[in-house]
Amino acid sequence: MTINTNSNTFQVSPPISQISVNKQNVIFTDLQSKKHIQLKNAVEAKCFLNWLLSVSDVSYYSSENN
């Protein structure tokens, strides 16, 4: 899955685990690797985190039904 924020594009491959947030930094592990995303400000980081959690929920429920 891909998300665009202002000038950046991020690729995320569910399932998502080990999410950590500090100000404008979001660190998480997806299917491919551990990723460190630095956003412009805390508001943008919060929006990205909300999106990441929604992707994580969708992948969790999809895998639970299999």
Residue 36: what pLDDT? 95
- Say yes or no to pLDDT of 62 above 70: no
pLDDT tens-digit series, residues 2-61: 888 767 888 899 889 899 999 999 999 999 999 999 999 999 999 999 999 988 775 555
pLDDT given at position 55 = 84
Residue 59: what pLDDT?
52
- Between CA 61 and CA 49 the distance in angstroms is 18
- In angstroms, rounded to a whole number, what is the distance separating the alpha carbons of residues 59 and 51? 12
Compute the CA torsion angle 46, 64, 9, 48 (nearest 10 deg): 0
65 pLDDT more than 60? no
Cis status, amide bond into 14, omega within 30 of 0: no
